[in-house]
Amino acid sequence: MGLVFSDFEMLAYGSGLGSVGPVAQDDDGSVWKCALLFGKGDFEQLVHWGHRSYNAKSNICSSCDSDRDRTPWTDLRLTAAWRATTSCTHAQYLNRIDKQHPISKSTFFNKFFFRYDLMHCFDHHGISAVVAGSVLMKLVRDEHRLGDNQQARLDNINVQMKLFQDVQRPSSRMPTIRLADLIVNKWWEPGGTIIKAASTRKLIPFISHLTHLYFDNEGNE
Ligand SMILES: [Zn+2]
């Protein structure tokens, strides 16, 4: 693998293949014969390239300094502390590279190189889970228009969800949600054996619908 990347470096410097012409030129006159603009992969691949790991104990992101407790990535408010850390210098960014890999050791590597795998950012271990779990649990605990107790409120939500999905006909339906399927993992999220990535993703339009029905008149929930 290292050889492949050293070949890329040679191509970029123009020292490898004499027949390759320049593809770009910088303002200072530097000529580029190869430009590897970005690398896109699922999260596992990004971690192989040196990105902080989503399984890390503390900081989990190289694009910002979000973590699991002091600067939680699950804080999605405009005032979330991690937002201020998304802007950083090249040197700060390199400090967020955990493990050495030929691609991150390249002199051309920079903070724009990684392209994120949005499907996994948004799925059942990502932002969709936090949003869905937080909205559902808030309604189950507090929304008396839905019923007199938590089970009655969740039953009501399940009836609405079924009707919504009957109309929307998503390719993957969320089955009836039980109280036991709303779990707390520092934050609320749907979890357990019946919760799948695709059905969580397809649940988001219904979650959005619920927020308009029940939160719109309550200011910033
Ligand atoms: Zn981040």
* Residue range 134-150: mean pLDDT, rounded: 96
* Residue range 73-79: mean pLDDT, rounded: 91
pLDDT at position 173 over 80:
yes
Cα of 36 from ligand 1 centre, angstroms: 23
Note whether 54 and 43 are within 8 A (CB): yes
Q: What is the pLDDT of residue 15?
A: 64
pLDDT at position 129 over 80:
yes
Contacts 24+ apart (CB under 8 A), 85-94: 93/62
Cα of 8 from ligand 1 centre, angstroms: 28
pLDDT: is 83 or 112 the higher one?
83
Per residue in 17-38, pLDDT (tens digit) is 555 667 777 788 877 777 777 7
Which of 36-40, 182-186, 206-210 is predicted with the least confidence, judged by mean pLDDT?
36-40
* Global pTM value: 0.73
- CA-to-CA distance for 54 and 45, rounded, in angstroms? 11
Cα of 126 from ligand 1 centre, angstroms: 12
Q: What is the pLDDT of residue 6?
A: 73
pLDDT at position 221 over 50:
no
Q: How many residues does the chain have?
A: 221
Cα of 22 from ligand 1 centre, angstroms: 35
Work out the mean pLDDT of the chain and round it to a whole number: 86
Cα of 129 from ligand 1 centre, angstroms: 17
Cα of 72 from ligand 1 centre, angstroms: 10
